[in-house]
Amino acid sequence: MKTGGNQTANDGDDATTEGASAPTCSPSNANIRVEWRNMTDDQRNGFMDSLKCLLDAPSKGTQYPGSTNRYEDLVAVHHTLTSSIHGHGQFLLWHRYFVWVFEKLLREECSLTGPMPWWDETLDSGNFSASPLFTDEWFGPLPERPSETQAYCINPPRLNGIRLHIGPGQAFEERCLSRGLNQTQAGYVTQNFINDCNARATYKEMEGCNELGPHAYGHNSIGGVMADVSSSVGDPAFFMHHTFVDHAYRIWQNANATRQYTIDGCVDSQSPCTPFTNDYVLSSMGLAENVTAGQMINTMGGYLCYKYNY
């Protein structure tokens, strides 16, 4: 499977495994992640149907604590690994890998054949509730919250019956999918902020700016489940947000060819820290094969083969 969506169908070889020769990837055969506004209704429907398929499918293992379905297997992985995948150099590449795992499940287990969507949040800056994502037809509404802590239970018709069983925090409680928009924080998710982060010279500097800036503001803008770091995957909007984060990273990489194979930073908070290198192993607890950071660093490198429609 080539990762990323193709605008008409998924074609190509299965993803390579550790040590296997990588398939050739070129602009002519790369899969395209398409911004939600640029997808046809048939493509959007195909994606939503595949997402509902994951929600309806059974969990595949006791290694995913609290999970009651295949989608919640993803929630459990993020919930379990939270402390190691945030606040360190692996943040961007682990989440690139995680979105790839999500897409892999959609294609291999739930028959997704159309493009993998992404969401350009800068087009909805300060007014996330007006995004074409947040309608009853697609991901369900994003109601504005009247106070800093309040959120509302929502039940998107396309995801009818969605219930959460992992979180809040490190708890395992059955609850609704909740959202509560903070328009002020949504106003910080701007192209200027992305440009500021992408003006940073080193991976470490850019990664920190992105994680604590547009990434954090995006989560907190949507509020509710999305504002709970460990269990934020419980809201499927998580993956649309992280395609946006990955898109910004790819733009930074495209500005300098050396960024397609070099990283820096730390993988822990020790002193001295453990350096973040291309050999660092990224895990999804069995949802997909483990990979190295070096295999994820170039979206056109062969192990991955995708780009964005702009």
In a domain, 18, yes or no: no
CATH number where 300 lies: 1.10.1280.10
Q: Nearest 5 degrees, angle CA 252-CA 296-CA 166?
A: 100
**14-28, 162-176, 255-269, 284-298: which range is least confident on average?**
14-28
In a domain, 17, yes or no: no
219 close to 185: Cβ distance less than 8 angstroms: no
- Specify the pLDDT at position 147: 73
In a domain, 168, yes or no: yes
Residue 7 pLDDT > 60, yes or no? Answer: no
- Specify the pLDDT at position 250: 98
Query: How confident is the prediction for the chain on average, in pLDDT?
Result: 92
- Specify the pLDDT at position 8: 31
- Specify the pLDDT at position 146: 75
Residue 20 pLDDT > 80, yes or no? Answer: no
Dihedral sign from CA coordinates of 130, 38, 236, 138? positive
- What whole-number distance in Å separates Cα of residue 74 and Cα of residue 166? 11
Domain count, the chain: 1
In a domain, 20, yes or no: no
Instruction: Give me the percent of the chain exceeding a pLDDT of 70.
Output: 92
Q: Which of 285, 308, 261 is nearest to 97 (CA)?
A: 285
In a domain, 3, yes or no: no
pTM (2 decimals)?
Answer: 0.92
Residue 210 pLDDT > 60, yes or no? Answer: yes
For residue 275, the cross-strand partners are: 266
- Each residue of 255-292: pLDDT tens digit? 999 999 999 999 999 999 999 999 999 999 999 999 99
Q: Which two three-digit tokens encode residue 178?
A: 């909740």
As a whole number, mean pLDDT of residues 32-37 equals: 98
First to last CA, the chain: 22
Tell me whether the omega of the peptide bond preceding residue 132 falls within 30 degrees of 0, making it cis.
no
Residue with tokens 């398409």: 34
- Specify the pLDDT at position 160: 87
In sequence order, which ranges of the chain are alpha helices (DSSP H)? 41-56, 70-85, 91-110, 183-186, 191-198, 203-210, 216-222, 237-254, 293-296
In a domain, 240, yes or no: yes
In a domain, 51, yes or no: yes
- Each residue of 42-78: pLDDT tens digit? 999 999 999 999 999 999 999 999 999 999 999 999 9
As a whole number, mean pLDDT of residues 161-170 equals: 96
- Each residue of 122-148: pLDDT tens digit? 999 999 999 999 999 999 999 998 776
The pLDDT confidence band at residue 14, using thresholds 50, 70 and 90, is very low
In a domain, 229, yes or no: yes
- Each residue of 96-105: pLDDT tens digit? 999 999 999 9
Segments forming the whole domain that contains residue 43: 31-308
- Specify the pLDDT at position 23: 61
